[in-house]
A and B are shown apart, each in its own frame.
Chain A
Amino acid sequence: MIKLKNVHKKFGHLEVLKGIDLTVEKGEKLVTIGPSGSGKSTLIRCMNGLEEVTAGEVYIDGHRMTHKTRAALNRQYSSMVFQQFNLYPHLTVMENLMLAPVKLKNMPKAEAQELAMQNLKRVGLAQKAQVYPTTLSGGQQQRIAIARSLTMKNPIIYFDEPTSALDPEMVQEVLDIMVELSHENITMVVVTHEMGFAREVADRVVFCDGGNLIEQGTPEHFFTNPEHERTRAFLSKILR
Protein backbone atom coordinates (compact mmCIF):
# COMPACT_ATOMS: atom_id res chain seq x y z
CA MET A 1 0.00 0.00 0.00
CA ILE A 2 2.78 2.39 0.97
CA LYS A 3 6.30 1.88 -0.28
CA LEU A 4 9.36 3.98 0.48
CA LYS A 5 12.51 3.37 -1.53
CA ASN A 6 15.75 4.83 -0.25
CA VAL A 7 14.03 8.02 0.91
CA HIS A 8 16.29 10.92 1.85
CA LYS A 9 15.09 14.24 3.18
CA LYS A 10 17.22 17.27 3.84
CA PHE A 11 16.23 20.61 5.30
CA GLY A 12 19.05 22.82 4.07
CA HIS A 13 22.14 21.01 5.24
CA LEU A 14 20.36 19.00 7.89
CA GLU A 15 19.73 15.46 6.70
CA VAL A 16 16.66 14.26 8.56
CA LEU A 17 15.96 11.02 6.70
CA LYS A 18 18.99 9.05 5.58
CA GLY A 19 17.78 6.46 3.14
CA ILE A 20 14.57 4.89 4.41
CA ASP A 21 13.23 1.66 2.91
CA LEU A 22 9.85 0.68 4.21
CA THR A 23 6.77 -1.11 2.96
CA VAL A 24 3.40 -0.93 4.68
CA GLU A 25 0.87 -3.56 3.69
CA LYS A 26 -2.78 -2.92 3.08
CA GLY A 27 -4.62 -2.96 6.41
CA GLU A 28 -1.41 -3.04 8.40
CA LYS A 29 -1.13 -1.11 11.67
CA LEU A 30 2.36 0.34 11.80
CA VAL A 31 3.54 2.18 14.89
CA THR A 32 6.60 4.40 14.64
CA ILE A 33 8.52 5.27 17.76
CA GLY A 34 11.73 7.16 18.37
CA PRO A 35 13.25 10.09 20.22
CA SER A 36 12.32 13.69 19.55
CA GLY A 37 13.86 15.04 16.37
CA SER A 38 14.57 11.59 14.97
CA GLY A 39 12.50 12.25 11.85
CA LYS A 40 9.20 10.48 12.65
CA SER A 41 7.00 13.36 11.58
CA THR A 42 9.10 13.97 8.51
CA LEU A 43 8.77 10.31 7.58
CA ILE A 44 5.00 10.39 7.77
CA ARG A 45 4.86 13.76 5.97
CA CYS A 46 6.90 12.33 3.12
CA MET A 47 4.34 9.55 2.78
CA ASN A 48 1.51 11.98 2.02
CA GLY A 49 3.66 14.50 0.21
CA LEU A 50 3.50 17.27 2.81
CA GLU A 51 7.28 17.18 2.48
CA GLU A 52 8.95 16.54 -0.84
CA VAL A 53 11.65 13.91 -0.65
CA THR A 54 15.17 15.05 -1.53
CA ALA A 55 16.03 11.67 -3.04
CA GLY A 56 14.36 8.31 -3.34
CA GLU A 57 10.75 7.47 -4.05
CA VAL A 58 7.42 7.13 -2.31
CA TYR A 59 4.69 4.99 -3.83
CA ILE A 60 1.07 4.82 -2.76
CA ASP A 61 -0.67 1.75 -4.14
CA GLY A 62 1.93 1.73 -6.90
CA HIS A 63 1.58 5.41 -7.80
CA ARG A 64 4.60 7.63 -7.36
CA MET A 65 4.06 10.49 -4.90
CA THR A 66 5.30 13.81 -6.30
CA HIS A 67 4.17 17.38 -5.79
CA LYS A 68 2.13 16.95 -8.96
CA THR A 69 0.34 13.77 -7.88
CA ARG A 70 0.01 14.66 -4.21
CA ALA A 71 -3.45 16.20 -4.33
CA ALA A 72 -4.96 13.37 -6.35
CA LEU A 73 -3.29 10.61 -4.29
CA ASN A 74 -4.24 12.11 -0.93
CA ARG A 75 -7.78 12.68 -2.08
CA GLN A 76 -8.12 9.04 -3.02
CA TYR A 77 -5.94 7.22 -0.53
CA SER A 78 -5.23 8.95 2.73
CA SER A 79 -6.13 11.24 5.59
CA MET A 80 -4.10 12.59 8.45
CA VAL A 81 -4.63 13.27 12.12
CA PHE A 82 -2.27 15.88 13.53
CA GLN A 83 -0.83 16.51 16.95
CA GLN A 84 -2.45 19.97 16.96
CA PHE A 85 -5.77 18.71 15.46
CA ASN A 86 -5.76 21.37 12.73
CA LEU A 87 -9.51 21.57 12.43
CA TYR A 88 -10.75 24.45 10.27
CA PRO A 89 -11.75 27.13 12.80
CA HIS A 90 -13.97 29.07 10.40
CA LEU A 91 -16.22 26.06 9.81
CA THR A 92 -18.59 24.20 12.12
CA VAL A 93 -17.79 20.64 13.10
CA MET A 94 -20.20 19.33 10.48
CA GLU A 95 -18.71 21.57 7.80
CA ASN A 96 -15.22 20.44 8.78
CA LEU A 97 -16.22 16.87 8.07
CA MET A 98 -18.11 17.59 4.86
CA LEU A 99 -15.73 20.01 3.15
CA ALA A 100 -13.31 17.62 1.49
CA PRO A 101 -15.77 14.86 0.53
CA VAL A 102 -18.12 17.38 -1.07
CA LYS A 103 -15.50 19.56 -2.78
CA LEU A 104 -13.00 16.88 -3.73
CA LYS A 105 -14.92 13.64 -4.07
CA ASN A 106 -18.11 15.11 -5.47
CA MET A 107 -20.07 13.40 -2.78
CA PRO A 108 -23.67 14.67 -2.73
CA LYS A 109 -24.24 16.92 0.27
CA ALA A 110 -26.94 14.76 1.78
CA GLU A 111 -24.75 11.70 1.59
CA ALA A 112 -21.76 13.53 3.06
CA GLN A 113 -23.91 14.84 5.87
CA GLU A 114 -25.22 11.41 6.72
CA LEU A 115 -21.77 9.89 6.63
CA ALA A 116 -20.41 12.74 8.75
CA MET A 117 -23.16 12.22 11.29
CA GLN A 118 -22.40 8.51 11.48
CA ASN A 119 -18.77 9.25 12.13
CA LEU A 120 -19.59 11.89 14.73
CA LYS A 121 -21.74 9.32 16.52
CA ARG A 122 -18.87 6.93 16.32
CA VAL A 123 -16.56 9.31 18.16
CA GLY A 124 -19.38 10.18 20.56
CA LEU A 125 -19.82 13.79 19.51
CA ALA A 126 -22.97 13.87 17.39
CA GLN A 127 -24.36 16.58 19.64
CA LYS A 128 -21.48 18.89 18.66
CA ALA A 129 -22.20 18.89 14.91
CA GLN A 130 -23.25 22.53 14.77
CA VAL A 131 -20.65 24.15 17.03
CA TYR A 132 -17.30 25.65 16.07
CA PRO A 133 -14.26 23.52 16.90
CA THR A 134 -12.52 26.15 19.04
CA THR A 135 -15.30 25.85 21.61
CA LEU A 136 -14.33 22.21 22.25
CA SER A 137 -11.72 20.61 24.48
CA GLY A 138 -8.52 19.19 23.01
CA GLY A 139 -9.74 15.64 23.34
CA GLN A 140 -13.01 16.48 21.63
CA GLN A 141 -11.22 18.32 18.84
CA GLN A 142 -9.00 15.35 18.21
CA ARG A 143 -11.99 13.01 18.10
CA ILE A 144 -13.57 15.36 15.56
CA ALA A 145 -10.33 15.28 13.58
CA ILE A 146 -10.51 11.49 13.52
CA ALA A 147 -14.13 11.67 12.38
CA ARG A 148 -13.04 14.09 9.65
CA SER A 149 -10.45 11.58 8.48
CA LEU A 150 -13.02 8.80 8.45
CA THR A 151 -15.46 10.86 6.41
CA MET A 152 -12.91 10.84 3.57
CA LYS A 153 -13.51 7.07 3.35
CA ASN A 154 -9.87 6.58 2.40
CA PRO A 155 -7.90 3.37 3.00
CA ILE A 156 -4.97 4.98 4.85
CA ILE A 157 -4.93 7.17 7.95
CA TYR A 158 -1.73 8.76 9.23
CA PHE A 159 -1.55 9.76 12.89
CA ASP A 160 1.26 12.05 14.01
CA GLU A 161 1.38 11.96 17.81
CA PRO A 162 -2.40 12.34 18.10
CA THR A 163 -2.38 12.42 21.91
CA SER A 164 0.78 14.41 22.63
CA ALA A 165 -0.93 17.79 22.83
CA LEU A 166 -3.71 16.55 25.09
CA ASP A 167 -4.20 16.92 28.81
CA PRO A 168 -3.62 13.54 30.45
CA GLU A 169 -7.28 12.95 31.25
CA MET A 170 -8.19 13.24 27.58
CA VAL A 171 -5.62 10.86 26.17
CA GLN A 172 -7.64 7.74 26.80
CA GLU A 173 -10.80 8.87 25.00
CA VAL A 174 -8.77 9.39 21.84
CA LEU A 175 -6.81 6.16 22.18
CA ASP A 176 -10.03 4.22 22.69
CA ILE A 177 -11.32 5.41 19.35
CA MET A 178 -8.06 4.55 17.63
CA VAL A 179 -8.10 1.06 19.13
CA GLU A 180 -11.63 0.60 17.88
CA LEU A 181 -10.60 1.80 14.41
CA SER A 182 -7.79 -0.71 14.33
CA HIS A 183 -10.32 -3.52 14.04
CA GLU A 184 -11.14 -2.30 10.57
CA ASN A 185 -9.31 -2.82 7.38
CA ILE A 186 -7.80 0.67 7.47
CA THR A 187 -4.06 1.01 6.99
CA MET A 188 -2.83 2.95 9.99
CA VAL A 189 0.58 4.56 10.32
CA VAL A 190 0.88 5.94 13.83
CA VAL A 191 3.64 7.98 15.43
CA THR A 192 3.15 7.79 19.18
CA HIS A 193 4.79 7.54 22.54
CA GLU A 194 1.85 5.50 23.88
CA MET A 195 3.45 2.13 24.32
CA GLY A 196 0.27 0.57 25.65
CA PHE A 197 -1.41 1.45 22.39
CA ALA A 198 1.52 0.10 20.37
CA ARG A 199 1.41 -3.17 22.26
CA GLU A 200 -2.31 -3.58 21.79
CA VAL A 201 -2.72 -2.48 18.20
CA ALA A 202 0.52 -2.65 16.23
CA ASP A 203 1.19 -5.37 13.70
CA ARG A 204 4.68 -3.98 13.51
CA VAL A 205 6.69 -1.39 15.37
CA VAL A 206 9.57 0.52 13.81
CA PHE A 207 12.15 2.37 15.83
CA CYS A 208 13.48 5.49 14.17
CA ASP A 209 16.60 7.30 15.33
CA GLY A 210 18.85 9.84 13.68
CA GLY A 211 17.03 9.53 10.37
CA ASN A 212 17.40 5.77 10.09
CA LEU A 213 15.07 2.88 10.85
CA ILE A 214 17.15 1.14 13.46
CA GLU A 215 14.95 -1.80 14.21
CA GLN A 216 11.57 -3.23 13.40
CA GLY A 217 9.47 -6.11 14.60
CA THR A 218 6.33 -7.15 16.42
CA PRO A 219 5.42 -5.38 19.66
CA GLU A 220 6.24 -8.67 21.34
CA HIS A 221 9.79 -8.49 20.02
CA PHE A 222 10.20 -4.86 21.03
CA PHE A 223 8.96 -5.18 24.56
CA THR A 224 10.69 -8.44 25.40
CA ASN A 225 14.06 -8.51 23.69
CA PRO A 226 14.94 -5.52 21.51
CA GLU A 227 18.12 -6.17 19.63
CA HIS A 228 19.84 -2.80 19.38
CA GLU A 229 21.42 -0.90 22.19
CA ARG A 230 19.80 2.37 21.09
CA THR A 231 16.37 0.78 21.03
CA ARG A 232 16.86 -0.57 24.53
CA ALA A 233 18.05 2.80 25.81
CA PHE A 234 15.05 4.54 24.28
CA LEU A 235 12.52 2.02 25.55
CA SER A 236 13.96 2.01 29.04
CA LYS A 237 13.55 5.75 29.11
CA ILE A 238 9.94 5.81 28.06
CA LEU A 239 8.75 2.65 29.76
CA ARG A 240 10.15 3.79 33.08
Chain B
Amino acid sequence: METIFSAKAWATVWQYRATFLNGLINTLQSAVVGLVIAMVIGFAIGLMATSGRRGLQAVARVYVEFFQNTPLILQVCFLYYALAYSGVRITVVVVGFIALGLYHGAYVGEVGRAGIQAIPAGQFAAARSQGFGYAQTMRYVILPQTVKIILPPMVNQVVALIKNTSCLYIIGGADLIATTYNFVTGASTGGAYGPAYLVGGLLFFLVCYPLSMMAGRWERRLKARDQMQKGGEQA
Protein backbone atom coordinates (compact mmCIF):
# COMPACT_ATOMS: atom_id res chain seq x y z
CA MET B 1 0.00 0.00 0.00
CA GLU B 2 1.31 3.37 -1.04
CA THR B 3 0.86 6.62 0.82
CA ILE B 4 -0.80 9.62 -0.65
CA PHE B 5 2.58 11.23 -1.24
CA SER B 6 4.05 8.29 -3.06
CA ALA B 7 5.43 9.50 -6.36
CA LYS B 8 5.08 6.03 -7.76
CA ALA B 9 1.36 5.90 -6.99
CA TRP B 10 0.81 9.29 -8.65
CA ALA B 11 2.79 8.13 -11.62
CA THR B 12 0.57 5.08 -11.99
CA VAL B 13 -2.54 7.25 -11.83
CA TRP B 14 -1.12 9.59 -14.43
CA GLN B 15 -0.23 6.65 -16.63
CA TYR B 16 -3.85 5.49 -16.48
CA ARG B 17 -5.34 8.97 -16.90
CA ALA B 18 -7.29 7.86 -19.94
CA THR B 19 -9.05 5.24 -17.82
CA PHE B 20 -10.20 7.89 -15.38
CA LEU B 21 -11.37 10.18 -18.13
CA ASN B 22 -13.23 7.33 -19.69
CA GLY B 23 -14.94 6.67 -16.35
CA LEU B 24 -15.90 10.31 -16.16
CA ILE B 25 -17.34 10.22 -19.65
CA ASN B 26 -19.38 7.14 -18.78
CA THR B 27 -20.63 8.84 -15.65
CA LEU B 28 -21.66 11.92 -17.58
CA GLN B 29 -23.35 9.80 -20.20
CA SER B 30 -25.37 7.94 -17.57
CA ALA B 31 -26.18 11.25 -15.92
CA VAL B 32 -27.40 12.87 -19.13
CA VAL B 33 -29.57 9.98 -20.27
CA GLY B 34 -30.78 9.40 -16.71
CA LEU B 35 -31.66 13.08 -16.49
CA VAL B 36 -33.69 13.01 -19.68
CA ILE B 37 -35.69 10.04 -18.39
CA ALA B 38 -36.04 11.69 -14.97
CA MET B 39 -37.33 14.90 -16.58
CA VAL B 40 -39.97 13.05 -18.58
CA ILE B 41 -41.12 11.05 -15.55
CA GLY B 42 -40.86 14.06 -13.24
CA PHE B 43 -42.90 16.22 -15.61
CA ALA B 44 -45.67 13.62 -15.66
CA ILE B 45 -45.53 13.11 -11.89
CA GLY B 46 -45.58 16.86 -11.22
CA LEU B 47 -48.63 17.35 -13.43
CA MET B 48 -50.42 14.36 -11.92
CA ALA B 49 -49.70 15.56 -8.38
CA THR B 50 -51.23 18.97 -9.14
CA SER B 51 -54.08 17.76 -11.33
CA GLY B 52 -56.67 17.87 -8.56
CA ARG B 53 -57.77 14.35 -9.57
CA ARG B 54 -57.65 11.95 -6.68
CA GLY B 55 -56.64 8.88 -8.69
CA LEU B 56 -53.78 10.59 -10.49
CA GLN B 57 -52.59 12.25 -7.30
CA ALA B 58 -52.56 8.90 -5.51
CA VAL B 59 -50.49 7.30 -8.28
CA ALA B 60 -48.00 10.20 -8.16
CA ARG B 61 -47.82 9.99 -4.37
CA VAL B 62 -47.18 6.25 -4.30
CA TYR B 63 -44.52 6.56 -6.99
CA VAL B 64 -42.70 9.37 -5.19
CA GLU B 65 -42.86 7.75 -1.76
CA PHE B 66 -41.68 4.41 -3.10
CA PHE B 67 -38.64 5.75 -4.89
CA GLN B 68 -37.72 8.31 -2.24
CA ASN B 69 -37.91 5.89 0.66
CA THR B 70 -35.83 3.01 -0.60
CA PRO B 71 -32.11 3.25 -1.36
CA LEU B 72 -31.12 3.86 -4.95
CA ILE B 73 -28.49 1.16 -4.72
CA LEU B 74 -31.16 -1.38 -3.85
CA GLN B 75 -33.32 -0.21 -6.75
CA VAL B 76 -30.36 -0.60 -9.07
CA CYS B 77 -29.74 -4.17 -7.89
CA PHE B 78 -33.39 -5.08 -7.95
CA LEU B 79 -33.91 -3.75 -11.44
CA TYR B 80 -30.80 -5.51 -12.68
CA TYR B 81 -31.70 -8.89 -11.24
CA ALA B 82 -35.40 -8.59 -11.96
CA LEU B 83 -34.66 -7.85 -15.58
CA ALA B 84 -31.99 -10.54 -15.79
CA TYR B 85 -34.29 -13.17 -14.30
CA SER B 86 -37.22 -12.24 -16.48
CA GLY B 87 -34.96 -12.93 -19.43
CA VAL B 88 -34.76 -9.37 -20.70
CA ARG B 89 -31.42 -8.96 -22.39
CA ILE B 90 -30.26 -5.53 -21.43
CA THR B 91 -26.87 -4.04 -20.79
CA VAL B 92 -25.64 -2.77 -17.47
CA VAL B 93 -25.44 0.70 -18.95
CA VAL B 94 -29.12 0.70 -19.89
CA VAL B 95 -30.11 -0.62 -16.47
CA GLY B 96 -28.19 2.34 -15.09
CA PHE B 97 -30.08 4.82 -17.28
CA ILE B 98 -33.43 3.40 -16.23
CA ALA B 99 -32.65 3.14 -12.53
CA LEU B 100 -31.31 6.69 -12.34
CA GLY B 101 -34.26 7.96 -14.38
CA LEU B 102 -36.86 6.25 -12.21
CA TYR B 103 -35.26 7.35 -8.96
CA HIS B 104 -34.61 10.95 -9.88
CA GLY B 105 -37.95 11.14 -11.67
CA ALA B 106 -39.50 11.01 -8.21
CA TYR B 107 -37.40 13.96 -7.02
CA VAL B 108 -37.88 15.97 -10.19
CA GLY B 109 -41.61 15.31 -9.82
CA GLU B 110 -41.56 16.74 -6.31
CA VAL B 111 -39.62 19.78 -7.46
CA GLY B 112 -42.16 20.28 -10.24
CA ARG B 113 -45.10 19.87 -7.91
CA ALA B 114 -43.72 22.43 -5.49
CA GLY B 115 -43.03 24.80 -8.38
CA ILE B 116 -46.55 24.55 -9.76
CA GLN B 117 -48.08 24.93 -6.31
CA ALA B 118 -46.02 28.08 -5.76
CA ILE B 119 -47.95 29.83 -8.54
CA PRO B 120 -50.81 31.84 -7.00
CA ALA B 121 -54.33 30.49 -7.55
CA GLY B 122 -55.19 33.80 -9.21
CA GLN B 123 -53.02 32.88 -12.20
CA PHE B 124 -55.05 29.73 -12.82
CA ALA B 125 -58.27 31.69 -12.34
CA ALA B 126 -57.18 34.41 -14.76
CA ALA B 127 -56.27 31.89 -17.45
CA ARG B 128 -59.49 29.94 -17.00
CA SER B 129 -61.57 33.10 -17.02
CA GLN B 130 -60.10 33.90 -20.41
CA GLY B 131 -61.07 30.51 -21.75
CA PHE B 132 -57.78 28.63 -21.58
CA GLY B 133 -58.23 24.89 -21.05
CA TYR B 134 -55.99 22.84 -18.77
CA ALA B 135 -53.20 22.17 -21.24
CA GLN B 136 -53.10 25.75 -22.52
CA THR B 137 -53.22 27.19 -19.01
CA MET B 138 -50.20 25.08 -18.14
CA ARG B 139 -48.34 25.82 -21.32
CA TYR B 140 -48.85 29.56 -21.63
CA VAL B 141 -49.35 30.73 -18.07
CA ILE B 142 -48.25 28.33 -15.35
CA LEU B 143 -45.19 26.44 -16.59
CA PRO B 144 -43.30 29.49 -17.89
CA GLN B 145 -43.54 30.90 -14.37
CA THR B 146 -42.75 27.55 -12.77
CA VAL B 147 -39.57 27.03 -14.77
CA LYS B 148 -37.94 30.11 -13.27
CA ILE B 149 -38.75 29.04 -9.73
CA ILE B 150 -37.60 25.45 -10.09
CA LEU B 151 -34.33 26.02 -11.94
CA PRO B 152 -32.14 26.16 -8.82
CA PRO B 153 -33.58 22.99 -7.22
CA MET B 154 -33.46 21.31 -10.63
CA VAL B 155 -29.76 22.01 -10.99
CA ASN B 156 -29.26 20.59 -7.51
CA GLN B 157 -31.04 17.48 -8.75
CA VAL B 158 -28.60 17.26 -11.65
CA VAL B 159 -25.71 17.42 -9.20
CA ALA B 160 -27.26 14.67 -7.06
CA LEU B 161 -27.85 12.60 -10.17
CA ILE B 162 -24.23 12.90 -11.28
CA LYS B 163 -23.03 11.79 -7.86
CA ASN B 164 -25.56 8.97 -7.76
CA THR B 165 -24.12 7.36 -10.87
CA SER B 166 -21.68 5.93 -8.30
CA CYS B 167 -24.36 3.39 -7.33
CA LEU B 168 -23.96 1.77 -10.71
CA TYR B 169 -20.66 0.25 -9.66
CA ILE B 170 -22.57 -2.44 -7.79
CA ILE B 171 -23.88 -3.99 -10.99
CA GLY B 172 -20.52 -3.64 -12.67
CA GLY B 173 -20.91 -0.32 -14.38
CA ALA B 174 -18.03 1.51 -15.99
CA ASP B 175 -18.73 4.84 -14.33
CA LEU B 176 -16.10 6.93 -12.58
CA ILE B 177 -16.50 5.29 -9.18
CA ALA B 178 -16.39 1.80 -10.62
CA THR B 179 -13.34 2.77 -12.66
CA THR B 180 -11.60 4.21 -9.65
CA TYR B 181 -12.45 1.19 -7.54
CA ASN B 182 -11.26 -1.24 -10.18
CA PHE B 183 -8.11 0.77 -10.51
CA VAL B 184 -7.18 0.65 -6.84
CA THR B 185 -7.96 -3.05 -6.57
CA GLY B 186 -6.51 -4.02 -9.93
CA ALA B 187 -3.65 -6.51 -10.14
CA SER B 188 -1.31 -4.23 -12.06
CA THR B 189 -2.47 -0.88 -10.74
CA GLY B 190 -3.57 -1.74 -7.21
CA GLY B 191 -2.56 0.07 -4.10
CA ALA B 192 -2.64 3.68 -5.20
CA TYR B 193 -5.72 4.35 -3.05
CA GLY B 194 -5.01 7.90 -1.97
CA PRO B 195 -4.14 9.42 -5.32
CA ALA B 196 -6.80 7.45 -7.17
CA TYR B 197 -9.63 8.49 -4.87
CA LEU B 198 -8.38 12.07 -4.85
CA VAL B 199 -8.41 12.18 -8.61
CA GLY B 200 -11.81 10.53 -8.81
CA GLY B 201 -13.20 12.98 -6.27
CA LEU B 202 -11.61 15.92 -8.01
CA LEU B 203 -13.21 14.97 -11.30
CA PHE B 204 -16.63 14.79 -9.66
CA PHE B 205 -15.98 18.11 -7.98
CA LEU B 206 -14.93 19.81 -11.18
CA VAL B 207 -18.24 18.89 -12.79
CA CYS B 208 -20.55 19.41 -9.83
CA TYR B 209 -19.16 22.53 -8.22
CA PRO B 210 -19.81 24.91 -11.15
CA LEU B 211 -23.36 23.57 -11.34
CA SER B 212 -23.94 24.15 -7.63
CA MET B 213 -22.48 27.63 -7.95
CA MET B 214 -24.79 28.38 -10.83
CA ALA B 215 -27.83 27.17 -8.89
CA GLY B 216 -26.86 29.29 -5.90
CA ARG B 217 -26.34 32.39 -7.97
CA TRP B 218 -29.63 31.86 -9.77
CA GLU B 219 -31.48 31.48 -6.51
CA ARG B 220 -29.97 34.65 -5.04
CA ARG B 221 -30.90 36.56 -8.16
CA LEU B 222 -34.51 35.35 -7.96
CA LYS B 223 -34.66 36.35 -4.29
CA ALA B 224 -33.26 39.78 -5.03
CA ARG B 225 -35.81 40.29 -7.78
CA ASP B 226 -38.67 39.25 -5.50
CA GLN B 227 -37.44 41.72 -2.89
CA MET B 228 -37.33 44.45 -5.48
CA GLN B 229 -40.85 43.71 -6.63
CA LYS B 230 -42.18 43.71 -3.10
CA GLY B 231 -40.45 47.01 -2.49
CA GLY B 232 -41.94 48.31 -5.72
CA GLU B 233 -45.44 47.39 -4.67
CA GLN B 234 -45.14 49.16 -1.37
CA ALA B 235 -43.68 52.25 -2.95
A residues with a Cβ closer than 8 A to B are 45, 48-50, 70-76, 78-80, 82, 84, 86-90, 99-100, 103-104, 134-135, 138, 152, 158
Contact B126 A88 (CB under 8 A): yes
In the complex, what residue of chain B is closest to A80 when comparing beta carbons?
A: B129
Docked pose: A91 CA to B80 CA in angstroms = 47
* B120 neighbours in A (Cβ, 8 Å): 84, 86
Contact with A along B106-127 (1 / 0, CB 8 A): 0000000000000010110110
Is the CB of B131 closer than 8 A to any CB of chain A? yes
Docked pose: A70 CA to B137 CA in angstroms = 13
Shortest beta-carbon contacts, A-B, top 6: A75-B131, A80-B129, A86-B126, A74-B131, A86-B122, A100-B130
Closest Cβ–Cβ distance, residue A102 to chain B (whole Å)? 10
Is the CB of B141 closer than 8 A to any CB of chain A? yes
Contact with A along B125-141 (1 / 0, CB 8 A): 11011111100100011
New contact pairs (5) apart from A74-B128, A88-B126, CB-CB < 8 Å: A50-B129, A74-B131, A89-B145, A90-B144, A90-B145
Interface centre among A70, A82, A87, A89 (most CB of B within 10 A): A89
Closest Cβ–Cβ distance, residue A76 to chain B (whole Å)? 7
Docked pose: A73 CA to B133 CA in angstroms = 11
In the complex, what residue of chain A is closest to B125 when comparing beta carbons?
A: A50
A75: contacting residue among B123, B125, B130, CB under 8 A: B130
* B22 neighbours in A (Cβ, 8 Å): none
Contact A104 B126 (CB under 8 A): no
In the complex, what residue of chain B is closest to A132 when comparing beta carbons?
A: B229
Contact B130 A104 (CB under 8 A): yes
* A78 neighbours in B (Cβ, 8 Å): 129
Is the CB of B232 closer than 8 A to any CB of chain A? yes
* B229 neighbours in A (Cβ, 8 Å): 134
Docked pose: A50 CA to B131 CA in angstroms = 10
Contact A88 B130 (CB under 8 A): no
Contact A80 B148 (CB under 8 A): no
Docked pose: A78 CA to B133 CA in angstroms = 15
In the complex, what residue of chain B is closest to A89 when comparing beta carbons?
A: B145
In the complex, what residue of chain B is closest to A81 when comparing beta carbons?
A: B129
Contact B123 A88 (CB under 8 A): yes
In the complex, what residue of chain A is closest to B144 when comparing beta carbons?
A: A90
Docked pose: A153 CA to B11 CA in angstroms = 76
Contact B131 A84 (CB under 8 A): no
Interface centre among A49, A72, A78, A100 (most CB of B within 10 A): A100
* B136 neighbours in A (Cβ, 8 Å): 103-104
Docked pose: A78 CA to B131 CA in angstroms = 8
- Asked, given contacts A88-B141, A90-B148, A103-B140, whether A152 binds B128 with beta carbons under 8 Å apart, the answer is no
